[in-house]
Amino acid sequence: MNIEKYTATLHAIMYQTRKGFCNIPRDVLTYKTSAIKWSKREILGHLIDSARYNLMRFTEIHCHDDIYEIKGYHQDHLVNINQYQTLEDHHLLTMWQLLNDQIIMVISAFTSDDLAKSIKVKGEIKTVAWLIEDYINHLQHHLNQIFTDDLIMEKTPVKVSLAEAIDALLKSATVPNSHFVEVLKYADLEVEFYKPDGNDLQKPHLKDEVYVIISGHGNFYVNGHILPFRANDILFVKAGDEHRFIDFTDDFSTWVIFYGVRNGIIR
């Protein structure tokens, strides 16, 4: 396998993993057959550790003149201390993907001489090419443990109609002060339907957000400024910015789109 095939294989693995991981039900991702066995979420956490250590190895090998010795790491300890079981899925996926993007950048700079360099693994002499292939094989092995043949995936809706959103909000009306309902979630993306009743009591959120006004008109307060809005306008708010809708008509409603990494604790 040459460098182009290594990078193409890693790109394909990353694409398929990101495409599927967020559709695994949360209870399946966090399920542990025993206290000492990793959950599927923790397996991805282990792959983050593997990517981090191998990125360091590939980087150091490139500028190492002598035979580079591969040293191990405490796998279970790292999974526990990093608390992967408690982290959000898009947080894990983003870390894993960025590390592998950087691995691709590093190995794409390797020459044929670099691939032929000798390394020492548990007392045996191997090559850099062997290490890359071993990393890919290890990666695929653990992904097969996540994406098992009996896995039932959730489906992310491609379309959510306004009628469906209104119906979902009406069904949640038994909850006090329930003026919004989540209608779509995938990775770091969250889409809500929001229809406040008289007053907008929002507090600053911990993710960047976009409002797409569905109906009505009024004014929008953000960080000391007041802006008029009407149907079909788009409003952007950075995470942490104080904002709220004021002086709006009774028919006001909007889509709310949250995205990106949370800037603090869960909102």
Task: Write out pLDDT tens, residues 140-192.
Answer: 999 999 999 888 888 888 999 999 999 999 888 666 667 999 999 998 899 99
Report the alpha-carbon distance of residue 52 to residue 68 in Å, rounded: 17
- Residue 20 belongs to what H/E stretch? helix 3-21
Please tell me the predicted confidence (pLDDT) of residue 1: 73
Could you tell me the pLDDT band of residue 262, with boundaries at 50, 70 and 90? confident
3-146 and 162-259, same CATH topology: no
Does the pLDDT of residue 115 top 90, yes or no? yes
Using one digit for the tens of pLDDT, what is the confidence trace for 60-106?
998 888 999 999 999 999 999 999 999 999 999 999 999 999 999 99
User: What superfamily in CATH does domain 3-146 come from?
Assistant: dinb family like domain (1.20.120.450)
Please tell me the predicted confidence (pLDDT) of residue 3: 93
- For the domain 162-259, what is the CATH code? 2.60.120.10
Please tell me the predicted confidence (pLDDT) of residue 265: 46
Q: How many CB atoms lie within 10 A of CB 91?
A: 15
Q: What is the pTM of this model?
A: 0.83
Running DSSP on this structure, what letter comes out for residue 198?
Answer: S
Where is pLDDT greater, at 176 or 213? 213
Could you tell me the residue ranges of all domains in the chain?
A: 3-146, 162-259
Using one digit for the tens of pLDDT, what is the confidence trace for 26-71?
999 999 999 999 999 999 999 999 999 999 999 999 888 899 999 9
Report the alpha-carbon distance of residue 113 to residue 138 in Å, rounded: 24
Report the alpha-carbon distance of residue 183 to residue 191 in Å, rounded: 6
